[in-house]
Amino acid sequence: MKGRQIVLDGVAGRKAAALMVDGALDDLLIETDAPAPGTIYRAVVDRQVKGQGGVFLRTPDGGAWLRDVKGLAPGDAITVQVAGYSEPGKAIPVTGRLLFKSRYAIVTPDAPGLNISRRIRDEAERDRLLEIAHDTLGEGGVGLILRSSCAGADADEIAQDIADMAAIAAQVTQDSGRTPEVLLLGDDPWALAWRDWSDPAQVVEGDGTFGSTGVDEAIDAARGAHVPLGGDAGMFVEATRALVAVDVNTGADGSFAAGLKANIAAARALPRALRVRGLGGQITIDLAPMAKKDRRVFDDVLRAAFRADEVETVLAGWTPLGHYELQRKRARMPLSEVLK
């Protein structure tokens, strides 16, 4: 099917949301047993780790790790937000910079100021949004980011969204408790789909819709390592304990340009392959053979592909052995762990 579909159903008794683009699985969110990113805790400092610039915290869901922080002592209470998923056996990664996200607005209590998404370029529309924001917040000290989904949206809906997020932010930041507690739960997959997949799409929901729309079949394929790249080319995306290894192959194509074609196809397909598999951390790409002069082309295609991906990814570059390395935020739990 051509176009975008947002499919809301469940997998193995868990809430799940899938984004299908032109009949292919483009993104996948599945509920997990771990604390969802965005969850806000009142945590208590457990112990400092000298030399690593961070502290271990106690939360209702277990130990957490807060890096790059100073001036805290054991027993201090602090408000933190879950920043991603941890590796098995490690502490929950949290941050002290709170973000309150909704479909139209992001409220930033620690960063005053008003910003509008750069994707909204029409000056008249930007002026309209500024007026809505000022009328809603007045001269409040909180920061506000208006998301790209605001473009063309109803003014009353935007204003209500801003007001709701600002009220939640005020309630959380005024908390004065001293014991570990969950102050705000992170969004589940259905709420995340509504919040983040804001481009126009057909919404399909209900029991069995994953089967009727081809999502179940796509999930089964994503549980494997192989990603077809067209023709005989393909890549294998496999997670090890230390890193994610990506191996690009040309298959039976022995033409002079086969390596470059396979590598360009892999660069375009990699963000989607990582998203649906929930993979992050260190990523090493073993590319198909190509001339060194073609590395610039590959670099440009890869950067363009990840520019459209919302998960924070650092393109570290080439290694002496000719591999390409990336560092990607663990924003999702690996599909292999969610669906064991």
Q: What angle do CA 82, 83, 88 make, to 5 degrees?
A: 85
C-alpha span between 161 and 106 (Å, rounded): 9
Q: 330, 86 in Cβ contact below 8 A?
A: yes
Cβ partners under 8 Å of residue 110, min gap 6: 96, 97, 98, 143
Residues 230 and 304 in one domain: yes
pTM, entire model:
0.91
Task: Check whether residue 142 and residue 208 sit in a common domain.
Answer: no
pLDDT score at 44: 96
Q: What is the mean pLDDT of residues 212-218?
A: 96
* Residue 24 pLDDT level (bands cut at 50, 70, 90): very high
182 domain-assigned: no
Q: Residues 246, 285: contact at Cβ < 8 Å? A: yes
Reply yes or no on whether the pLDDT at 239 is more than 70. Answer: yes
Tell me, what CATH number does 232's domain have? 3.40.630
Q: Establish if 185 belongs to a structural domain.
A: no
> Do 236 and 150 share a structural domain?
no
pLDDT value at 292 more than 80: yes
Are residues 87 and 118 both part of a single domain? no
The 3-class secondary structure across 258-303, one letter per residue, is: HHHHHHHHHHHHHHHHHHHHCCCEEEEEECCCCCHHHHHHHHHHHH
Provide the residue type at 17 as one letter. A
Question: Are both 203 and 229 inside the same structural domain?
Answer: no
Task: Please determine, for residue 68, whether its predicted confidence score (pLDDT) is greater than 90.
Answer: no
- My answer on whether 290 and 254 are in the same domain is yes
Per-residue pLDDT at 139 exceeds 80: no
What average pLDDT is seen over the chain? 94
Report which of residues 176 and 141 the model is more confident about. Answer: 176
Q: Is the pLDDT of residue 293 over 70?
A: yes
Residues 231 and 332 in one domain: yes
In a domain, 183, yes or no: no
Distance from C-alpha of 215 to C-alpha of 309, rounded to nearest angstrom: 20
Tell whether 13 and 119 lie within a shared domain: no
Range of lowest pLDDT (44-48, 68-72, 318-322, 323-327): 68-72
Residue span of the structural domain in which 142 resides: 100-175
Q: What gap in Å lies between CA 247 and CA 70, rounded to an integer?
A: 42
Residue 106 placed within a domain: yes
% the chain with pLDDT above 90: 86
In a domain, 238, yes or no: yes
Do 204 and 284 have their domain in common? no
Q: 97, 116, 136: which is the final residue of a domain?
A: 97
Are residues 63 and 120 both part of a single domain?
no
Helices (H), 199-253: 209-212, 215-222
Same domain, 258 and 314: yes
Are residues 128 and 169 located together in one domain of the fold?
yes
User: Tell me: the pLDDT tens digits for 81-94?
Assistant: 999 998 888 899 99
Contact 155, 128 (CB under 8 A): yes
According to the model, what pLDDT value does residue 166 have?
A: 95
8 A C-beta contact, residue 262 and residue 229: yes
Per DSSP, what are the bridge partners of residue 188? none
Of 23-32, 117-126, 138-147, the least confident: 138-147
Task: Check residue 32 and give its pLDDT.
Answer: 94
- What is the domain count for the chain? 4
pLDDT in tens, 7-20: 999 999 999 999 99
Strands 113-116, 324-328: pairing is unpaired
Band of pLDDT at residue 140, cut at 50, 70 and 90: low
Query: Does residue 6 have a pLDDT over 80?
Result: yes
Q: Is the pLDDT of residue 52 over 80?
A: no
247, pLDDT greater than 90: yes
Query: CB–CB of 281/334 below 8 Å?
Result: no
pLDDT, tens digit, 9 for 90 and up, residues 86-131: 888 889 999 999 999 999 999 999 888 999 999 999 999 999 999 9
Percent of the chain with pLDDT over 70: 99
